[in-house]
């Protein structure tokens, strides 16, 4: 069995190499190997210094997250770091690629750190509902100051090598062979008198008065309802109050509390679920993907322009075909304005903005997109229009080009049927705004080939999107579930609730906004058009709430008309409860014969969320999602389901499917078929299992 940690001596330096592909995660074997080999180098009279480096594509991706929740296996990472730090011989960390989490705390325990230009360090624990648990909150403030450390730890974002050098995290950036440079650096350190300086012994500079109080105010909105961000600040603040060892002890206690929390389990679930979503049983990882070197987008509306920006941002040339020259001009101007806004916000450099805009070209003739490797159609949600366009594209585009439709509800098979290349037709449901939302539902048609799927999944990754493969049905996965969730919200209004009460329940659960505030942002006319399309096929006996239609008939389309479910003052997005809406609601309740009643928050939460979960179970049962965690990923990245809850299906498992099942049965007795549990959910509940057991 290959060594998880390798050792060699070169020129009187002990070189220790982490070798645990793919990211050198610090599992038990790696920790033991590093501890043993540092002791071996320390005891070897022929060794004057030590270099610690990583094999493969990076230094280290951190602690092995899969170990969490298992019985601890010594030595712990803090113990390993202590062995390194107390070594009387200089230990130099040689960093390339990522050094994240514990993979950065390990180098912080070394006496020096040198980096290749590719190196980037981060403490992303907060994104997993954790805090750095191996000295990061105690050593980093001593190395770069409290203010800078708070920024690194609370953001969880990577710090590039050049910034790491200027912040004092690394001592040198080296071109050429990293290990050779590290050996030379280590020998130079060995020549110096006395034991090497330990980071733990560095003084912590006092921050400005009120720094931590201001820090807590700054994160209040983002950290609402969370544990880890507050524990991060507390542990960092301890560096200004406690000696190192005491601060380390408190850090460990705070870390263990976070690690055992439901919140961290939810966020760790999503970390793995996002990666699991890329695994498609009948599309092996080595399925050859087509090279995408040019993209065409049809339509320069909000979605088309947003998609084109994502493509150009990934460095791929993109042509936007828009037959209406005025719409094209407006769309291109919107793209330019958006890029300029990103520069102003510091998200984009001037050079990157110019490069991005330089890759986008507007065209009005379909012949100008005949050579594209993939065409992404992003016109109105109108099946006949899409079919007409696909029939044309099939004759114009080169053989082998993939034809993708950005639809949120329509049948990909019907669109594929008008072409002679059904195996190259696929759905790419981008979420709006496309240049911000990371989710893309990738909709496989009955004949979509494995190569087409592999190609589009790879393209999604290149666009920094989270691609999730789904089957074809009305609304696919996300919108189909969202439809049932919002229906319940509307029914609750008829029975006694008001928009602000429902929205507050959902906000307090952890969403950024409730369904009515979301509707006002998205535009009530969008869902109105979809309801009108569905009206022809809606069963006569199906419960239907007319409230939203009434608002639309009044021209209340949400923020864009400064009136929707709420009223909005000029220039403000703050929702204001509106008596006009309340009157409409009361009128509908009366029309439908409801005696309005006070509805408690628990009922609102149960009816909205358990409906969501039940529909997700039906989707799983119909094979339209590959796994329950895919549904979680869709809801986290497409609808803002709180990550610390892990997604609707993970949350259901945490609540217990028996509890969900019994609540649905109770609700079904009162409200009828809307709540009849799906057979899959019933079976799992009665077998005392969860979605995770599928
Ligand atoms: N533990 C276990 N598995 C990991 C892992 C980790 N830390 N990081 C990655 N993997 C798996 C991943 O699931 C995938 O598996 C494969 O490696 C490739 O990953 C004590 C407590 C390092 C930037 O948060 O950000 O240290 O799907 O597809 O795109 O204070 O992985 O192939 O089976 O993402 O090149 C802190 C998490 C941990 C970093 C590489 N560290 N990882 O990205 O590959 S907590 C992190 C990443 C901690 C200390 C605390 C990325 C990456 P599979 P990948 P990539």
CATH code at position 600: 1.10.1040.50
Domain that holds residue 11: 5-259
Instruction: State pLDDT tens for residues 613-624.
Output: 999 999 999 999
* Burial bucket for residue 672 (CB in 10 Å: 0-12, 13-18, 19+): exposed
Q: Is the CB of 156 under 6 A from ligand 1?
A: no
Q: Is 423 a catalytic residue?
A: no
Query: What integer pLDDT is reported at residue 148 of this predicted model?
Result: 96
End-to-end, the C-alpha distance of the chain in Å comes to 33
Q: Which residue has the higher pLDDT, 527 or 679?
A: 679
What pLDDT is attached to residue 128?
Answer: 98
Among 26-30, 264-268, 302-306, 445-449, where is mean pLDDT lowest?
302-306
Tokens of 300: 């320069």
Q: Are residues 144 and 89 located together in one domain of the fold?
A: yes
Q: If you average pLDDT over residues 659-677, what whole number do you get? A: 95
Note whether residue 289 is domain-resident: no
- To the query of whether residue 125 is one of the catalytic residues in this protein, the response is yes
Question: Do 412 and 504 fall into the same domain?
Answer: no
CA–centroid distance, residue 64 to ligand 1 (Å): 8
Are residues 536 and 467 both part of a single domain?
no
Can you give the pLDDT at residue 76? 96
Distance of CA 607 to the CA centre of its chain: 26
For residue 256, how far is its CA from the centre of ligand 1 (angstroms)? 19
Per-residue pLDDT of 532-549, as tens digits, reads 888 888 888 889 999 999
CB 217 near ligand 1, within 6 Å: no
Average pLDDT estimate for 105-125: 98
Q: How many CA atoms lie within 13 A of 431 on its CB side?
A: 24
pLDDT value, residue 75: 96
Nearest alpha-carbon partner for 54 in 178, 172, 165, 138:
178
Closest ligand 1 atom to the C-alpha of 65?
Answer: 1
Residue 515 lies inside a defined structural domain of this protein: yes
> How far apart, in whole angstroms, are the C-alpha atoms of residue 114 and residue 673?
64
Cβ of 502 closer than 6 Å to ligand 1, yes or no, is no
Beta strands, E only, 378-514? 402-405, 425-430, 439-444, 466-470
pLDDT confidence tier of residue 478, bands split at 50, 70 and 90 = very high
Report the sign of the C-alpha dihedral through residues 400, 402, 403, 409, in that order. Answer: positive
Question: Residue written as tokens 């893309």?
Answer: 440
Ligand 1 atom nearest to 63, measured from its CA = 26
pLDDT above 70 for 1: no
Contact yes or no for 26/102 (Cβ under 8 A) = yes
Nearest protein Cα to ligand 1, atom 14 = 275
Q: What is the CATH number of the domain that holds 92?
A: 3.90.226.10
CA atoms within 13 A on the CB side of 387: 10
Same domain, yes or no: 308 and 237? no
Radius of gyration, CA atoms only, the chain: 28
Q: Give, using CA atoms, the residue closest to atom 27 of ligand 1.
A: 275
Is the CB–ligand 1 distance for residue 140 below 6 Å?
Answer: no
Percent of the chain with pLDDT over 90: 89
CA of 266 to the centre of ligand 1 (A): 16
pLDDT of 2 over the 80 cut: no
Q: 282 lies in a domain?
A: no
Same domain, 125 and 29: yes
Quote the pLDDT of residue 15: 98
Q: What is the pLDDT of residue 474?
A: 83
In this structure, what DSSP letter does residue 348 have? S
Q: What's residue 673's pLDDT? A: 87
Which pTM value belongs to this model? Answer: 0.94
Judge whether 109 lies within some domain.
yes
Pair 460, 582 in one domain: no
* Assigned token pair, 121: 């360090």
* pLDDT tens-digit readout, 252-297: 999 999 999 999 999 999 999 999 999 999 999 999 999 999 999 9
Asked if 56 and 193 sit in the same domain, the reply is yes
Instruction: Tell me whether residue 265 is in a domain.
Output: no
Do 103 and 232 reside in the same domain of the chain? yes
Domain boundary, last residue among 451, 477, 503? 477
Q: Residue 486 and residue 503: Cα distance in Å, rounded?
A: 11
CA of 124 to the centre of ligand 1 (A): 10
Distance CA 293, CA 318 (A): 9
Residue that is last in its domain, among 445, 477, 509: 477
Is 281 part of a structural domain of the chain?
A: no
CB count within 10 Å of CB 423 equals 17
Ligand 1 centroid – CA 23 distance (Å): 7
Residue nearest to atom 15 of ligand 1 (CA): 275
The last residue of a domain, from among 477, 508, 543: 477
Do the domain assignments include residue 465?
Answer: yes
Which of 23, 104, 254 for a ligand 1 pocket mutation test, highest count of atoms within 8 Å of Cβ?
Answer: 23
CATH of residue 459's domain is 3.40.50.720
Choosing from 6, 67, 79, 125, the catalytic residue is 125
Q: Is 305 in the pocket of ligand 1 (CB under 6 A)?
A: no
CA dist 295 and 393 (Å) reads: 13
Based on the domain organization, do 142 and 177 belong to the same domain? yes
Please tell me the total count of domains within the chain: 3
- Tell me: pLDDT of 363 over 80: yes
Q: Does the CB atom of residue 25 touch ligand 1 within 6 A?
A: yes
CB of 78 within 6 A of ligand 1: the answer is no
Which H or E element spans position 84? helix 77-85
* 130 Cβ closer than 6 Å to some ligand 1 atom: yes
- Report how far residue 334's alpha carbon sits from residue 434's, in angstroms, rounded to the nearest whole number: 13
What percentage of the chain carries pLDDT values higher than 70? 100
Dihedrals φ, ψ of 342, to 5°? Answer: -65, -35
Catalytic residue among 39, 85, 105, 193: 105
Is the minimum distance from the CB of 464 to ligand 1 under 6 angstroms? no
Rounded Cα distance between 677 and 663, Å, is 9
How remote is the C-alpha of 510 from its chain's centroid? 15
Residue 604 confidence (pLDDT) above 60: yes
Q: Is 307 in the pocket of ligand 1 (CB under 6 A)?
A: no
Pair 60, 204 in one domain: yes
The burial of 91, by beta-carbon neighbours within 10 Å (0-12 exposed, 13-18 middle, 19 or more buried), is given as buried
Closest CA relative to residue 374, chosen from 335, 318, 422:
318
The alpha carbon of 328 and the centre of ligand 1 are apart by a number of angstroms equal to 42
Pocket test for ligand 1, best of 21, 28, 62, 70 (most atoms within 8 A of CB): 62
What does the DSSP 8-state code read for residue 236? H
On whether residue 649 sits in a domain, the answer given is no
Kindly state whether residues 245 and 329 are assigned to the same domain: no
Tell me the C-alpha to C-alpha distance, in Å, between residue 269 and each of 61, 133, 177, 225.
17, 19, 38, 18
Examine the domain organization and report whether 442 and 520 are in the same domain. Answer: no
């Amino acid at each position: 069995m290959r060594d998880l940690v390798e050792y060699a001596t070169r020129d009187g330096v002990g070189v220790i190499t982490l070798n645990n592909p793919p990211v050198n995660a610090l599992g038990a074997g790696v920790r033991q190997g590093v501890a043993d080999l540092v002791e071996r180098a320390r005891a070897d009279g022929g060794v004057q210094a030590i270099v610690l480096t990583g094999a493969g594509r990076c230094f280290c991706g951190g602690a092995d997250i899969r170990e969490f929740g298992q019985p601890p296996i010594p030595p712990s990472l803090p113990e390993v770091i202590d062995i390194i730090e107390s070594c009387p011989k200089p230990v130099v960390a040689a960093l390339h690629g990522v050094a994240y989490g514990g993979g950065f705390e390990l180098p912080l325990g070394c006496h020096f750190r040198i980096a290749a230009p590719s190196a980037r360090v981060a403490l992303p624990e907060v994104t997993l509902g954790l805090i750095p648990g191996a000295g990061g909150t105690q050593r980093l403030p001593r190395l770069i100051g409290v203010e800078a450390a708070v920024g690194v730890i609370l953001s969880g974002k990577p710090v590039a090598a050049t910034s790491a050098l200027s912040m004092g995290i690394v001592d040198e950036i080296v071109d050429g062979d990293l290990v050779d440079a590290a050996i030379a650096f280590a020998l130079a350190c060995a020549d110096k008198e006395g034991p090497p300086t330990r980071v733990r012994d560095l003084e912590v500079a006092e921050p400005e008065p009120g720094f931590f109080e201001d820090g807590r105010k700054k994160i209040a909105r983002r950290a609402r309802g969370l544990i880890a961000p507050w524990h991060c600040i507390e542990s960092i603040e301890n560096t200004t109050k406690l000696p190192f060892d005491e601060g380390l002890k408190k850090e460990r206690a705070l870390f263990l509390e976070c690690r055992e929390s439901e919140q961290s389990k939810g966020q760790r679930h999503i970390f793995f679920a996002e990666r699991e979503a890329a695994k498609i049983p009948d599309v092996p990882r080595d399925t050859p993907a087509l090279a995408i070197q040019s993209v065409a987008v049809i339509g320069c509306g909000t979605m088309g322009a947003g998609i084109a920006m994502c493509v150009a941002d990934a460095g791929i040339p993109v042509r936007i075909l828009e037959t209406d020259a005025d719409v094209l001009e407006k769309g291109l101007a919107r793209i330019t304005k958006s890029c300029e806004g990103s520069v102003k916000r510091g998200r984009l450099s001037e050079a990157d903005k110019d490069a991005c805009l330089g890759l986008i070209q507007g065209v009005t003739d379909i012949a100008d997109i005949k050579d594209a490797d993939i065409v992404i159609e992003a016109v109105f949600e109108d099946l006949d229009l899409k079919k007409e366009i696909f029939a044309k594209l099939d004759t114009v585009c080169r053989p082998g080009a993939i034809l993708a439709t950005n639809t949120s509800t329509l049948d990909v098979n019907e669109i594929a049927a008008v072409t002679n290349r059904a195996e190259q037709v696929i759905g790419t449901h981008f979420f709006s705004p496309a240049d911000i939302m990371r989710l893309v539902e990738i909709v496989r048609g009955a004949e979509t080939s494995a190569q087409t799927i592999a190609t589009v999944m790879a393209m999604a990754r290149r666009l920094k999107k989270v691609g999730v493969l789904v089957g074809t049905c009305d609304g696919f996965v996300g919108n189909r579930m969202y439809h049932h969730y919002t229906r319940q919200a509307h029914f609750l209004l008829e029975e006694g609730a008001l928009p602000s009460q429902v929205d507050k329940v959902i906000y307090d659960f952890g969403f950024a906004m409730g369904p009515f505030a979301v509707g006002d942002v998205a535009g009530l006319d969008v869902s109105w058009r979809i309801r009108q399309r569905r009206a022809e096929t809606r069963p006569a006996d199906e419960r239907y709430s007319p409230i939203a239609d009434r608002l639309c008939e009044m021209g209340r389309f949400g923020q864009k008309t400064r009136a929707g479910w709420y009223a909005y003052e000029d220039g403000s997005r703050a929702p204001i409860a509106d008596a006009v809406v309340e009157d409409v609601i009361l009128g509908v309740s009366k029309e439908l014969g409801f005696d309005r009643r006070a509805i408690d928050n628990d009922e609102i939460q149960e009816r909205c969320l358990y409906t969501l979960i039940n529909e997700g179970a039906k989707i799983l049962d119909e094979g339209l999602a590959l796994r329950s965690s895919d549904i979680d990923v869709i809801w986290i990245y497409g609808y803002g389901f709180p990550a610390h809850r892990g997604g609707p299906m993970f949350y259901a498992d945490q609540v217990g499917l028996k509890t969900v099942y019994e609540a649905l049965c109770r609700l079904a007795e009162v409200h009828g078929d809307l709540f009849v549990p799906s057979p899959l959910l019933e079976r799992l509940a009665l077998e005392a299992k969860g979605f995770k057991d599928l």
